Every structure is written in C-alpha cells, then in structure tokens.
Structure 1
Amino acid sequence: MAWLCSSTTNSGLVANLLGAHIIAHERVAAAMRAVDRAHFSPHSPYEDAPQYIGYGATISAPHMHGYALEHLEEFLRPGMRALDVGSGSGYLTACMAAMVGADGCVIGIDHIPELVEGSRVALERHYPGWVESKRVQVVVGDGRRGYADGAPYDCIHVGAASPGVPEALLAQLKAPGRMFVPVGTAFQEIIVYNKDSSGHVTERSAMGVRYVPLTDPEKQRDD
C-alpha cells in the first residue's frame, strides 16, 4: 500500500515526501530532485510502492529511500565515502552520490551481475561525469561481506534484511560513522548503528519494516 498520494513527475514525488515530513533536509530533497527515479525504475517510478526490477529484486518504495537518506544525511556530506549494499537498480546509490559531491565517493554492490550492469548503464547514460570521476561506482560482490577495497566508509546503507548484527559491515564503518540496515527474519526493523570517534557502537530501532533477506544469488533468483 502506498504511503503517499500518487505523482506523475519526479518533482511531484519529492514534494509529496516533503509534505508528508518523510524528508526534511533540503540536501536530501535536492538529491532526490537531481536523480530522476524514472531513470532506474521502468515501471510506475513515481508510485510510492516497491517495483519489481527482475532477478528476484525490487526497487524500494520512495518513502523508504527518503527515510534512509534522512537518517544518513549527517554522514553523506561533501567529500565523504559511502557503501550501498544490495544496490539493485542503482537509484539510491546515485542519490547518495549527489549528496557527497564531486570530492566524495559512493560504491554500490550487488551480487546479481545483470542488476549491476543495468545500474551501470543507467548511471553512464544519465550521470556520465559521476561515473568517469569515480564519484559513483557499482561492483558485483557479496554485500554481506561489505567491500573492503573501498573501506572504511562514513556510512553504509543496506537494502535487504540481515538476520542479525552485520558485523562484517560494522567493521568497515569509520569512527565516527553510521549504518542504516533492516535486521530480522520473521519480524524486521530498521536498526541505525552509530559508531563514535572511539569506535564504540550503539544501536536504535527506527521503524518496523518488511524487506527481502540478504541471501545467496541462486536463492534470490529462485524466489
């Protein structure tokens, strides 16, 4: 079920997210305006609902992307580094890249090669300068293990549910740093992990959710 009134444009979608107080920071709104969801979602891009993108994957509903960017805003400042686990369509990866600016870097990782290739094509077509400068990158890999070649990260977003504490990802988080991740199996909740400057990690529950699980590529394709 959609949370927001339907929209026929990307700017209208962002206006709805602002009106519903799902997003509040102008930097988040500007990033979502700069990255047109239709470049990454071929079906009903401005409807506030998940959309199937193939290979057992969906692009999350816009309100969830809005919540993620709001929670991570402090760690998506210009020049920062970020990791998007389960990057799928590449949409949120691009939004994060818009926020970290020309001196920042965002890496999207997904274990389905076809999804990574599709997101790479979309990024090269619509944001070629970002790709050429490596401001945004997409790679094939098991996101459950993070991406050590680009670590450490100021923030990490995870787009599928971890069954428990994602220790490998926490290890790749800077101090200070922040991670936004759905955790759980039958019952899931968004957990926001904060690592302080001394490396101490705290956590808080942000909301209950339903996400597909972090899993093996073969299992995802079967589902």
Structure 2
Amino acid sequence: MKQFWSPNSINKNKAMVENLQSHGVITSDEVAKAMEAVDRGLFVPDRSYAYVDSPLSIGYNVTISAPHMHAMCLELLEKNLKPGMRVLDVGSGTGYLTACFAFMVGSEGRAIGVEHIPELVASSIKNIEASAAASPLLKQGSLAIHVGDGRQGWGEFAPYDAIHVGAAAPEIPEALIDQLKPGGRLVIPVGNLFQDLQVVDKNSDGSVSIRSETSVRYVPLTSREAQLRGE
C-alpha cells in the first residue's frame, strides 16, 4: 500500500490531513474538517504511529485502515454525509471512521457503528468519549456503536443515506443493499485474495449501479469466531 510520507515525517493530526490534501487524496473541505476535528491519535493503540499512512493492528486479527483509505472512503461518501443524513459503519473497529461520519452528519443526523467484537465496541466507545468532536454526539444519541453481525446491517435506523464496510466481503451482502435508501451509496471492499473497493449506488427505482474504485487489501468480513481464528 502506497505511503505518502515517511513514518517519521508526520506527528500531528492536522499535518496528516494537510499531507492528504497536498497529494489530492482529500479534495472536500467537509472531509478535511471532519478528519481535523476527530484526532486519529485517540483511536489507535499506539499514538506514536497514529499519523503514519499505514494500517495498524488493533488486536483480534483486525486493523485500522491507513489514513488515506479513510480519506478515500469519506470522499466517496461525502455527498451522502450531509447534515441530517443517516450513515451505517460496518466493522467499526476503534470507532474512528464512525466518529468522522457522525461529525459530518451532525446532531440532526445519525451515525451507527456495528462491530462483532464486544471488546472493540467497549474500547471504541471510550475512544469516542475522549474526542471533543464526537463525545457530545455520543451523549445525545446521534452516534452509537452496537455489537452485532454487520453483514446483516442494522435495521433499526434503516434506510441509510450512506453505508461503509471496513472489511472485505466475498460478495455484497443483500441486507446492506436492502438497507440503503434510494439515492444512497454503499462503499465496500469485495473479494477474497484479490479485492476491489466497490461503489454501489441505489437508483430511485431500487436498482443498483456498481463500479470498482481501486484495488485494496482488507481483512475479511466474516463471523466473529472465524475472525478470532484469523480466517
């Protein structure tokens, strides 16, 4: 995975965002504001590596994606993350991207994270509570993290304007397409050994359009048991 800077050259969240802007990864002002507001250092096990453009292990055989991948997904979903909209984050991990989503949709919107490792859900809530940008949204209920099988989505607040999946599925789960609002967008890595980041747009008649954005490498979207076994 391409790095846009050397590991020792970035040590602050704002500088990380500025580097992503300078390399054209971030073009939206709203995405830049969200990533500046939500300090990635609060959401990784070792803050000294928080701003390096690399995925990091967070335990349980999973990783937090590299900053440029988070930025890419935010950019792809930006038009579906306007204030008041609803977003679902499948495989929410440390809660970082869910917090960015919540910041963008604001107090009138709703951001839901679903993660099947209870320990990660508990730690992600603590991470969010430490974030000045995201904590108020958690307290008021417009941001929430739940334990669950993200392959089934989260029906309580469906349909969603945006759905993001942070692990690679062998095929796009029908439940997620069903929970996508007409006009909504789903971003999901699809594949096994070879994966593509796919962009799924639901049309007004309920049909979907699918395109591949780029080749990626994510951990698999699987059951909790298989994940813990490293499958």
Where on the TM-score scale, by shorter chain, does this alignment land: which range? over 0.9
State how far apart, in whole Å, the 1-side matches of 2:161 and 2:12 are.
32
Structure 2 unmatched runs, 5+: none
State how far apart, in whole Å, the 2-side matches of 1:215 and 1:128 are.
29
CA deviation after TM superposition for structure 1 residue 2, in Å: 4.8
State how far apart, in whole Å, the 2-side matches of 1:29 and 1:69 are.
9
State how far apart, in whole Å, the 2-side matches of 1:210 and 1:105 are.
28
Corresponding position of 1:204: 211
Matched, 1:30 2:33: yes
Alignment of 1:1-223 (within 5 A): 1-5=1-5, 6-43=9-46, 44-126=49-131, 127-223=134-230
State how far apart, in whole Å, the 2-side matches of 1:197 and 1:116 are.
34
State how far apart, in whole Å, the 2-side matches of 1:179 and 1:50 are.
22
Aligned pair count reads 223
CA deviation after TM superposition for structure 1 residue 183, in Å: 0.3
Contact kept in structure 2, 1:2 and 1:47, CA below 8 Å? no
Q: Cα deviations across residues 131-187 of structure 1 (Å, max 9, x unaligned)?
A: 111121000000001011121100100000010122110000000100000001121
Q: Cα deviations across residues 57-86 of structure 1 (Å, max 9, x unaligned)?
A: 110000000000000000000000000000
| Identity in percent | 51
State how far apart, in whole Å, the 2-side matches of 1:134 and 1:199 are.
30
CA deviation after TM superposition for structure 1 residue 89, in Å: 0.4
State how far apart, in whole Å, the 1-side matches of 2:20 and 2:211 are.
23
Q: Cα deviations across residues 66-110 of structure 1 (Å, max 9, x unaligned)?
A: 000000000000000000000000000000111101211100000
Structure 2-normalised TM-score? 0.94
RMSD of aligned residue pairs (Cα, Å) = 1.0
Structure 1 unmatched runs, 5+: none
